[in-house]
Chain A
Amino acid sequence: MTPALSFHIKLQRKDFTLDVKADIPNWITGIFGPSGHGKTSLLNSIAGIVTPDSGYIHLNGDILLDTNKKKNVKIRQRRVGYVFQDERLFPHYTIRKNLLYGEKNPDPELFNEVVDTLQIAHLLNKKPEQCSGGEKQRAAIGRAIISGSKILLMDEPFSALDVNLRREIIPYLNRVHQKFSLPILIVSHDLPDLLSLTDNLLLLKNGQLLGHGKFTDLLDRPENLELMHESGWYNVMHLSVFAHLESKNMVLLKSNKSNLQIQALTQTIGKDVAINQALKVLIKPESIALSKEPVQNISLRNQVEGTMKDVLLKDGLAFCIVDIGENIIVEVTEVSQKSMCLEKGQRVYCLFKSASLKIY
């Protein structure tokens, strides 16, 4: 697949060196790393706010920067939509004027579609300070799309929002990506937030790229494991609604790529979710138990069979990577792993409660 964005950015700032090279597909990609390790500098370089010392940036085949060719496209000509941590809506304009700032006469269809998708029609005549944090974020996203951006860069979009507002904004981002087919590069130091959006990650530490790829594929390196475990993590499964089990108050979810199927509580998903609706299902690795045999007479609704792909040991814990149709991590104690003789290649059952699932 041709990458939407390719870059190699080298930037020297006092004691800090940013040196990152990557090809970003037309997906939602999460940039994860500790605070102060170069995530925002990377976004600023792509947007043109900061000029790298050397390197290149290509967006959809267009050269935004190439220090060898001495080409550096100005910020205003890059068509890179930047949604900042603090929204940066213009306080003296209404939301409508903010939306139209980058493009005074947008295609009315696009304008209406953005307003509908982000549900900001009721805000159009309000000033930013009359809006909630989540509403302002949605307006800022809308403004970036309407201005004709070819990519959306988001810098810590959740950090200023409380937990409820975070949940509110995540589905909008998924919708934006699907409807407008915009690649989204989203920076966060909060791994669970990122994983609720995407499992395609770019790991940054000390200005260097630790890894780039699918979340579970990144776990094979101890330094990646350490980085991600420290910030709290989730397994992400891509499933679709298969059936509403109304008498049990449950919903049956299935994978389109494998035989994986699980049950979730109706109240977690909602009664109105259509059959075949694609969902992201998240579960913490420590919320999953392992068994070598199917367990009878147990209250847990989900027992999913899988194969142990790897076992990584760290600080008395064992991180078992299990293929259940998708790779997931199961966190058990090293003592349990040893007493159960859990090893690579074995068949195991992953046990978890329906109530422990988060669904977006």
Chain B
Amino acid sequence: MSELFKYTASEWSAIQLSLYVALICAVITLPLAIVVGWFLARKKFFGKSVLEGIIHLPLVLPPITTGYLLLLVFGNRGVIGKFFYETFGIQIAFSFYAAVIAAIFVSFPLVTRSIRLSIELVDQKLEEAARTLGASNLRVFFTITLPLALPGVISGFILSFARSLGEFGATISFAGNIEGKTQTLPLAIFSEMQVPGQEASTMRLVVVSVILSLLAMIAAEFLNKRVIKSKTA
């Protein structure tokens, strides 16, 4: 029983790396998703449906396909990967960056969807009223739209964090499964499952995985309720 609480250095490393990747992913994804979510919620433009389709593609694509496509673009011979490798000597594929990029691509549609929906729920008449009071579009966004869409933004942030924690398919094909470098929690669980007699280690990682995901969901719910309460107080 005590084996369930004895975490090895490589297990700690996987847990820390997972949290690190998830946090960086959520921080990068959020502002991008806010901008794209606002455009999709408020603007009508030619090709909007196509753009929506592309953004939501990672939701329905097999994760391994997403990983492969990322490898094509960000690999050392890919359009972007080649540029980074030749200009800065940075190899993106099979690195920590790749784990973060894979998490961003997979969680982006979920976050964008959450933020877009909450922005759509903000009464545009309030934005109109703010403009008649002399507010610029940017001020309207930061003082009216964003605060009123805050529950969706917070949900989006935590959703991005939680989705990154669980990311597997795209990460293993694009970032690899390198211990201490790209081996996140799900990858570590997968690795342990492949080795006979590692049930205790697998269980330790599974427990952490479940607890982290649960905490993220509880935090999302708690923050959401607090925001709603503070708005109506």
Which A residues from 39 to 85 make CB contacts under 8 A with B? 47-49, 75-82, 84
- Which residue on chain B has the smallest CB distance to residue A86? B125
CA distance A24 to B126 in the complex (A): 28
Q: Give the interface residue-count category, chain A.
A: 20 to 34
Which stretch from B38-46, B55-63, B132-140, B169-177 is at the chain A interface?
B132-140
- Which residue on chain A has the smallest CB distance to residue B129? A88
- Contact partners of B148 in chain A: CB under 8 A: 91-92
Q: Is the CB of B231 within 8 A of A101?
A: no
- Contact partners of B233 in chain A: CB under 8 A: 127
| Known pairs A76-B136, A86-B125, A127-B233; A92 contacts B131 (CB<8 A) | no
CB 8 Å contact bits of A189-206 with B (1 = contact, 0 = none): 000000000000000000
Main secondary structure of the interface of A (DSSP, over half): loop
Q: Does B147 count as interface, using CB distance less than 8 angstroms?
A: yes
Which B residues from 110 to 136 make CB contacts under 8 A with A? 123, 125-126, 128-136
| Known pairs A49-B128, A84-B125; A91 contacts B133 (CB<8 A) | no
Q: Does A3 count as interface, using CB distance less than 8 angstroms?
A: no
Q: Does A226 count as interface, using CB distance less than 8 angstroms?
A: no
Which A residues from 270 to 319 make CB contacts under 8 A with B? none
Q: Is the CB of A49 within 8 A of B232?
A: no
Q: Does A172 count as interface, using CB distance less than 8 angstroms?
A: no
Q: Is the CB of A147 within 8 A of B134?
A: yes
| Known pairs A86-B125, A91-B231; A80 contacts B144 (CB<8 A) | no
Smallest beta-carbon distance B207→chain A, Å: 40
Q: Does A244 count as interface, using CB distance less than 8 angstroms?
A: no
CA distance A143 to B126 in the complex (A): 13
Q: Is the CB of B132 within 8 A of A47?
A: yes
Main secondary structure of the interface of B (DSSP, over half): helix
Q: Does A129 count as interface, using CB distance less than 8 angstroms?
A: yes
Q: Is the CB of B126 within 8 A of A75?
A: no
- Contact partners of B133 in chain A: CB under 8 A: 76, 101-102, 143-144, 147
| Known pairs A75-B131, A81-B132, A101-B133; A88 contacts B125 (CB<8 A) | yes
The residue from A76, A82, A91, A127 contacting B135, defined by CB atoms under 8 A apart:
A76
- Contact partners of A91 in chain B: CB under 8 A: 126, 148, 231
Q: Is the CB of A79 within 8 A of B134?
A: yes
Q: Is the CB of A101 within 8 A of B232?
A: no
Q: Does A27 count as interface, using CB distance less than 8 angstroms?
A: no
Q: Does A111 count as interface, using CB distance less than 8 angstroms?
A: no
Which A residues from 86 to 101 make CB contacts under 8 A with B? 86, 88, 90-92, 101
- Contact partners of A48 in chain B: CB under 8 A: 132
The interface of chain A, by Cβ under 8 A from chain B, is: 47-49, 75-82, 84, 86, 88, 90-92, 101-103, 127, 129, 143-144, 147-148
23 contacts between A and B (CB under 8 A): A47-B132, A49-B128, A49-B131, A75-B132, A76-B131, A77-B134, A81-B132, A86-B125, A88-B125, A88-B126, A90-B126, A90-B129, A90-B144, A91-B148, A101-B130, A101-B135, A102-B133, A102-B134, A102-B135, A103-B134, A143-B133, A144-B133, A148-B134
